[in-house]
Amino acid sequence: MRRGGLKIRILIGLAIVAFAFIKKCNNKTMNPYTDRVQNINMTSDQEIAIGLQSAPEMAQQHGGLYQDQKLQSYIDMIGDKLVKASMAKQTPYQYEFHLLADPNTINAFALPGGQIFITYALLSKLENEDQVAGVLGHEIGHVLGRHSAERIAEHDFWKTISTGASVGADAGGIVNSIGKNILLGNGRGDELESDKLGVLFMINAGYNPEEMIGVMKVLKNAAGPNRTPEFQSTHPDPDNRIEKIREAIAEYSGQ
């Protein structure tokens, strides 16, 4: 009886795993902006809704919005210029740029659907408008790359796989670990893809793409000599990003 019960558990577990793979195959979609096939399980409208819903909480975590309309207008101007000069304007996403009050965290990020943030701590380190454009162009790249939606779909996939493994062989913890490692790898790829798109957006908007390298140097200096090794980080090492950025500049400058 016990052997029969185990056999049933294994069959159920295999069925759940098979369902996860079938669902993933059905979610394959070609991203027309990156020419890359992705696993996406939500629409653009759902991405926009998630971004709008999450934006207030993200701002609150960074001390709210920076209370200087002149600086906010400056960010809006650069962001709008990048969008209007690129394929970003052809997408359904609603691009909104937010300057956060956080004076300590050197960071910028994008939520699904077009909500883009840059902290005052990072803005204060940047040397010119071109570098600001480099940061915002990179974040627009995350939106067009649908990186958040892709990570959400991967999370759902591994969650289902983990459930199947737990039912069939009590191996859910191991599979969860594998899923996290895959997501970590995707994160590095996301950054490099966004860097490349950011270079393209800068060139199209009339900015100097070499200043994207300046942004990498700012991030490297901010991290200090004890920065996390690349293989332990979700972001590629700034030196490796600089090499890829130079390749993108060479590729797009001759277009």
In a domain, 128, yes or no: yes
**Domain annotation covers residue 1:** no
Tens of pLDDT along the chain (255 residues) come to 455 555 665 555 555 555 445 555 555 777 777 788 877 777 788 888 888 888 898 899 899 999 999 999 999 999 999 999 988 888 889 899 999 999 998 989 888 889 999 999 999 999 999 999 999 999 999 998 887 777 776 665 445 445 544 544 443 443 344 333 433 334 678 888 899 999 999 999 999 999 999 999 888 887 665 555 443 445 667 778 899 999 999 999 865
Tell me the average pLDDT of the chain: 77
pTM: 0.75
Return d(Cα 182, Cα 229) in angstroms, integer.
18
Residue with the two structure tokens 């970003």: 88
Q: Which amino acid is at 85?
A: A
Beta 96-100 vs 115-119: how paired, if at all?
A: parallel
- Give the pair of three-digit tokens for residue 17: 């795993």
Q: From CA 158, how far away is CA 21, in angstroms rounded?
A: 10
N residues, the chain = 255
Range of the domain at 134: 8-29+40-253
Instruction: Give a yes or no: residue 35 inside a domain.
Output: no
Task: Report pLDDT for 220.
Answer: 82
Q: What was the pLDDT predicted at 190?
A: 83
Residue 174 belongs to a domain: yes
Strand arrangement of the beta sheet that strand 115-119 belongs to: 96-100, 115-119, 108-110
pLDDT at 175: 35
Q: Quick check: 211 and 245 in contact, CB under 8 A? A: no
Split into its structural domains, the chain has a count of 1
Q: How far apart, in Å, are the Cα atoms of 83 and each of 147, 198, 202, 255? A: 18, 11, 10, 19
Residue 132 included in any domain = yes
Contacts for 90 with CB less than 8 Å, ≥ 6 apart: none
Where are the strands (E) in 40-114, listed by range?
96-100, 108-110
Task: Tell me the H-state helices in 145-237.
Answer: 147-169, 172-204, 211-223
179 in a domain, yes or no?
yes
pLDDT, position 197? 93
Beta partners for residue 98, in sequence order? 117
Residue 200 forms part of a structural domain: yes
Q: Assess if residue 21 is contained within a domain.
A: yes
Please list the residues that pair with 115 across neighbouring strands.
96
**Do 232 and 180 meet the contact criterion of CB atoms below 8 Å apart?**
no
Which residues make Cβ contacts (< 8 Å) with residue 86, sequence separation at least 6? 140, 200, 201, 204, 205
pLDDT digits (tens, 9 = 90+) for 71-115: 999 999 999 999 999 888 888 898 999 999 999 989 898 888 899
Count of alpha carbons within 13 angstroms of residue 58, beta-carbon side: 21
* List of residues 6+ apart from 74 with CB closer than 8 A: 132
Helix (H) or strand (E) holding 74: helix 69-84
Q: What's the pLDDT at 167?
A: 46
CB 190 within 8 A of CB 142: yes
